């Protein structure tokens, strides 16, 4: 129970420090790790313990400075920053802590504060439980204090290591490390480790994916959510009772970055994603974002909100830059770039760029090679093609493909299976030959390194030459090992998957005949389109296009 005197010591957040001097800083800190380790270190107990000491000593102007939930290795804490600012201004006379570890667990930083900052500003430092008082400190105390600080840092390092090991064990077991559910989910009231669908927010997630699949930009989607007064993810979390610190934006203040974040999350497929980010060390808490290949993903851990096909289509579309039409044409029908990222020049292999334009008040949208007339590596042809002409060609080609499929599905699929099985077998044979050569070279390098090591010992090879050659061979060997692992994974994928005809059938069965191309239809069916330059002139001109379909490639 807090003493009467302690209850009357004010908190720093309630004080106007202008003109206030002879302050006694009563500093308390508790990290999450400390709270699990010892109840005796709770903020309430620290306040009671230090309050009684202040009363016994009769120290003037005591003020509590409390950092609750902050690790001792991080000195970017609000209360300690304010207290040290007052020290530098010369407004502090006494600085009291329960023990030096409450001040911090960095040997260097605690030493700088206690031995330099406090000394330079004539501040009396008292660590009550350790019996340290800078005003009566002996030579022995001055020697022991740095040793205590060093042990406090060792403790922080050990705790950090144990936490990381525990987290890795949880992650390997497929447990979720993130404490906050993604927007669209909420914590299961019966199991705090599980997520369940928050249907109201989940419908907004589906809307965002649906509109992205239709070709809307992130900014357009965000503006629509603002217009319809949809709560942002943070406000939604607050509505369902989750703790949301520092709400800094408007309730309906959706932005393109929020939309982009939602569109990239594999969690909406029902998966758990761990180690999306990490930190360098227990001292440096700066967040480092890992590459996607380094994420730990565990599938089917909660109910999915988005299906795999929709998610894959949206990821494919996000890779392509969509140029908005000029402002004067914004909102006008017909200027949409529905083939963004799908068109490639047959002459040079680069992408075709969309050019929105009007001529004499009529739509003159067209595509041309992105490398035409460039200073370096220029394409020899502009490969100019009108948008409406190209869309008609593609529509005719796709409808012809669908007609063949629907006339005799069994024969069509059988021929596909035979064709792509042959291709897959040949690809696997090539990869296995490359794998064998790579493995042999790795073994050869081991023998070469052994040989140059012996030559160096026998004096046949100088130390400097040996170091250079050894470094080069080890670099080559490491690169080969990485390539070896990638080849093994590629062979495994080819052997297990081949061509995914099930996905192809699922995709094509949604369509019998297409009357008009849309962004969604184009990205559903098509992987890429190679456009050849026109042959001939005027009405007699002809143009060849090659369409590679999703999951099966070119026909």
Cα distance between residue 414 and residue 476, in whole Å: 44
pLDDT of residue 407: 87
Q: Which pair of tokens denotes residue 191? A: 């199991």
Asked whether residue 155 carries a pLDDT value surpassing 60, the answer given is no
* The pLDDT value given to residue 156: 52
- Spatial distance between the Cα atoms of 265 and 209, rounded to a whole number of angstroms: 11
Confidence of residue 299 (pLDDT cuts 50, 70, 90): confident
Of the segments 145-149, 491-495, 519-523, which one has the largest average pLDDT value?
519-523
For residue 4 the two structure tokens come to 């009467």
Give the start-to-end residue ranges of the domains of the chain.
23-137, 143-173, 185-317
DSSP 497-510: HSS-HHHHHHHHTT
Residue 152: per-residue pLDDT: 53
Q: Report yes or no: 533 and 348 within 8 Å, Cβ to Cβ.
A: no
State the pLDDT at residue 97.
94
pLDDT at 157: 60
Q: Please tell me the predicted confidence (pLDDT) of residue 282.
A: 47
Which range in 76-85, 132-141, 180-189, 242-251 is most confidently predicted, on average pLDDT? 76-85
Least confident of 223-237, 304-318, 410-424, 512-526: 410-424
pLDDT (tens digit per residue) in 533-551: 988 887 778 889 999 888 7
CB of 79 closer than 8 Å to CB of 67? yes
Average pLDDT over residues 71-77: 84
Q: Are 550 and 404 in contact (CB under 8 A)?
A: no
Work out the average pLDDT over 243-266.
82
Q: Is the pLDDT higher at 394 or at 3?
A: 394
Query: Residue holding tokens 């993903």?
Result: 297
Domains 23-137 and 185-317 share a fold: no
- Which 3 state secondary structure label does DSSP give 351? strand
The pLDDT score that the predictor gives to residue 321 is 61
Distance CA 526, CA 339 (A): 10
CATH of 185-317, picked from 1.10.3470, 3.40.1000, 3.30.1390, 3.90.1750, is 3.90.1750
pLDDT of residue 421: 66
If one counts every other C-beta atom within 10 angstroms of the C-beta of residue 315, the result is 13
Confidence of residue 200 (pLDDT cuts 50, 70, 90): very high
pLDDT at 142 over 60: no
- Those residues with Cβ within 8 angstroms of residue 249's Cβ, 6 or more apart along the chain or in another chain: 232, 234, 255
The CATH number of the structural domain formed by 23-137 is 3.40.50.1390
pLDDT at 189: 87
Helix orientation angle between 308-318 and 256-263, rounded to the nearest 10 degrees: 130
List pLDDT tens digits, range 310-359.
Answer: 998 898 888 776 655 555 554 455 677 889 889 999 988 888 988 888 88
Picking from 120, 54, 130, 70, the residue whose alpha carbon sits closest to that of residue 99 is 130
Q: What is the predicted pLDDT for the residue at 125?
A: 94
103's tokens: 């001040």
pTM value is 0.56
User: How far is the C-alpha of 553 from the C-alpha of 555, rounded, in Å?
Assistant: 7
* Per-residue model confidence (pLDDT) at position 88: 94
User: What pLDDT is attached to residue 39?
Assistant: 45
* 179, 260, 261, 318, 521 from 209: Cα distances, Å: 24, 10, 11, 11, 15
- pLDDT, position 241: 74
Secondary structure (DSSP) of 140-173: HHHHHHHHHHHHHHHHHHHHHHHHHHHHHHHHHT
């Amino acid at each position: 129970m807090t003493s009467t005197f302690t209850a009357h010591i004010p908190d720093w957040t309630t004080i106007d420090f202008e003109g206030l001097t002879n302050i006694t800083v009563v500093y308390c800190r508790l990290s999450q790790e400390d709270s699990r380790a010892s109840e005796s270190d709770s903020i309430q107990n620290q306040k009671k313990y230090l309050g009684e000491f202040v009363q016994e000593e009769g120290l003037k102007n005591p003020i509590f400075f409390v950092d609750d939930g902050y690790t001792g290795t991080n000195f970017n804490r609000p209360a300690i920053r304010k207290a040290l600012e007052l020290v530098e201004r010369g407004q502090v006379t006494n600085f009291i802590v329960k023990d030096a570890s409450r001040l911090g667990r960095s040997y260097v930083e605690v030493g700088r504060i206690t031995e330099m900052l406090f000394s330079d500003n004539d501040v009396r430092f008292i660590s009550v439980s350790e019996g340290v008082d800078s005003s009566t400190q002996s030579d022995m105390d001055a020697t022991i204090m740095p040793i205590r600080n060093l042990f406090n840092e060792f403790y922080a390092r050990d705790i950090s290591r144990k936490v990381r090991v525990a987290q890795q064990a949880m992650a390997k077991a497929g447990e979720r490390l993130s404490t906050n559910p993604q927007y669209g989910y909420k914590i299961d009231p019966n199991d705090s480790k599980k997520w369940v669908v928050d249907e109201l927010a989940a419908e907004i997630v589906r809307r965002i994916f649906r509109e992205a699949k239709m070709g809307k930009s992130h900014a357009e989607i965000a503006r629509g959510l603002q217009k319809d007064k949809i709560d942002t993810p943070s406000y939604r979390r607050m509505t369902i009772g989750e703790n949301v610190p520092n709400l800094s934006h408007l309730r309906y203040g959706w932005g393109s970055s929020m939309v982009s974040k939602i569109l990239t999350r594999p969690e909406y497929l029902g998966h758990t994603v761990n180690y999306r980010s990490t930190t360098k060390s227990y001292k440096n808490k700066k967040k480092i974002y890992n590459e996607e290949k380094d994420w730990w993903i565990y599938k089917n851990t909660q109910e999915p909100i988005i299906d795999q096909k929709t998610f894959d289509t949206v990821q494919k579309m996000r890779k392509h830059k969509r140029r908005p039409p000029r402002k004067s044409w914004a909102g006008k029908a017909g200027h949409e770039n529905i083939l963004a990222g799908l068109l490639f020049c047959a002459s040079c292999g680069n992408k075709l760029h969309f050019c929105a334009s009007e001529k004499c008040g009529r739509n003159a949208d067209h595509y041309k090679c992105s490398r035409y007339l460039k200073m370096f590596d220029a394409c020899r042809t502009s490969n100019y093609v009108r948008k409406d002409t190209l869309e008609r060609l593609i529509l005719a080609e796709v409808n012809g493909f669908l007609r063949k499929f629907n006339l005799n599905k069994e024969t069509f699929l059988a021929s596909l299976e035979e064709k792509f099985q042959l291709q897959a077998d040949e690809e696997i044979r090539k990869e296995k030959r490359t794998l064998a050569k790579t493995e042999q070279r790795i073994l050869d390098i081991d023998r070469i390194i052994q040989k140059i090591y012996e030559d160096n010992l026998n004096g046949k090879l100088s130390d400097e030459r040996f170091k250079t050659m050894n470094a080069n061979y080890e670099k080559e060997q490491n690169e080969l090992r990485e390539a070896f692992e990638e080849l093994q994974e590629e062979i495994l994928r080819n052997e297990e998957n081949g061509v995914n005809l099930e996905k192809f059938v699922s995709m094509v069965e949604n369509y019998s005949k297409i009357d008009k191309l849309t962004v969604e239809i184009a990205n559903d069916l098509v992987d890429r389109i190679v456009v050849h330059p026109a042959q001939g002139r005027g009405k007699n001109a002809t143009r060849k296009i090659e369409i590679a379909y999703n999951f099966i490639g070119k026909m």
